[in-house]
Amino acid sequence: MAATGPFVAPHTFDALWTEAAGHAALRPGVLPARTDEQVLVRTLHSAVSRGTELLVFRGEVPPSEYGRMRAPFQEGDFPFPVKYGYASVGRVEAGPPAWQGCHVFCLHPHQTRYLVPATAVHRVPDGVPPARAVLAANMETAVNALWDAAPRVGDRIAVVGGGVVGLLVAWLAARIPGCAVELIDVNAARAAVAAPLGLRFVHPEAATPEADLVVHASGQPAGLVTALGLAGFEATVLELSWYGQRTVSLPLGEAFHARRLSLRSSQVGHVAAAQRSRWDHGRRMALALSLLAAPELDALITDHAPFAELPAVLERLAAGAPDTLCQRIDYA
């Protein structure tokens, strides 16, 4: 009888599935055998998107967007059941020698272990703690937004909405020489987060008008109305919020035309047009990860919870939780 090799137990995992509107659960699974081109990642941390992921959790993805909204390693189909998410950081347990033992970021749903092609992971730089690297997808969005917005040296820039993306946009914009940046939000608690980032925080009623550039990231139609009101003559308002199925009513009468305002959208699914001929998604993500070396960005991670509590965490976030910015999930 031919000798057989040692038995290798298959890798099991648990993953988060949204099973109905407002209801999620952890489901077990078994990974297939790894191929030579794949890496096996053990998850250390993931993050919950307060925008897109909660729209998915609430079942608010419009049918027209089912295809465009698919995450890279999503399972299931909209509306439910669906395994969704795109901010995972882990350690490579097996794979090509160059990857073994590395900390990596992957656009993967919440799952304890997973197999993906080595081309789908991004190496976390040595100076970036894995627990902070969960901000990579948000930083990538902020980078792309500023590429779309094209701010100039010395601009007066208003950022409406002090969520994670808005804070990162403001933090990046404030590093452009001569730019005066205001972070604007109705939640006064955002001032305590803006301070360690070196940002000026103001309530909408105290915001400085006549901005050269306004970036809107509040996720609320009222915030976009505020953004239009702050824009100076021939200024651009860049819209980062996505509203799912909600209808947004805007004051496009009044002074909108007389002030010759430009309202533009920005979305991270495509590299901004101005950079597209030279940059791909991998290069853009490498830049985003490198920018996370700044320790003050830890202020954006306001909450953390173990993976086992993730279904309850999603329910809490969907109910409001106005003081939560980045919700990190930690894996044993």
pLDDT tens-digit map of 291-310: 999 999 999 999 999 999 99
User: pLDDT (tens digit, 9 = 90+) per residue, 166-214?
Assistant: 999 999 999 999 999 999 999 999 999 999 999 999 999 999 999 999 9
Residue 7 has pLDDT above 60, yes or no: no
What are the two backbone dihedrals, phi and then psi, of residue 322, each rounded to the nearest 5 degrees? -65, -20
* Whether the Cβ atoms of residue 204 and residue 182 lie closer than 8 Å to each other: no
245 and 164 assigned to the same domain: yes
Percent of the chain residues topping a pLDDT of 70: 97
* Whether the Cβ atoms of residue 169 and residue 142 lie closer than 8 Å to each other: yes
* pTM, two decimal places: 0.95
Domain span at residue 148 reads 138-265
Percent of the chain residues topping a pLDDT of 90: 95
Name 18's bridge partners. Answer: 24, 82
Residue 3 has pLDDT above 70, yes or no: no
325 and 303 assigned to the same domain: yes
- Is 220 part of a structural domain of the chain? yes
Peptide bond into 62 cis (omega under 30): no
Q: What pLDDT score was predicted for residue 1?
A: 46
CA–CA distance, 282 with 280 (Å, rounded to integer): 6
* DSSP conformation class of 210: S
Q: What pLDDT score was predicted for residue 4?
A: 53
Q: Which of 6, 5, 15, 8 is nearest to 115 (CA)?
A: 15
* Whether the Cβ atoms of residue 40 and residue 11 lie closer than 8 Å to each other: yes
Q: What pLDDT score was predicted for residue 6?
A: 56
User: pLDDT (tens digit, 9 = 90+) per residue, 269-279?
Assistant: 999 999 999 99
64 and 172 assigned to the same domain: no
87 and 148 assigned to the same domain: no
- Is 271 part of a structural domain of the chain? no
Q: Looking at residues 93-101, what average pLDDT do you find? A: 97
* Whether the Cβ atoms of residue 209 and residue 235 lie closer than 8 Å to each other: no
- Is 6 part of a structural domain of the chain? no
Q: Looking at residues 214-227, what average pLDDT do you find? A: 97
Tokens representing 261 are 């305002």
User: pLDDT (tens digit, 9 = 90+) per residue, 236-279?
Assistant: 999 999 998 899 999 999 899 999 999 999 999 999 999 999 99
CATH code assigned at 161: 3.40.50.720
- Is 256 part of a structural domain of the chain? yes
CATH code assigned at 100: 3.90.180.10
- Is 319 part of a structural domain of the chain? yes
- Is 255 part of a structural domain of the chain? yes
- Is 275 part of a structural domain of the chain? no
CA–CA distance, 137 with 145 (Å, rounded to integer): 12
Peptide bond into 151 cis (omega under 30): no
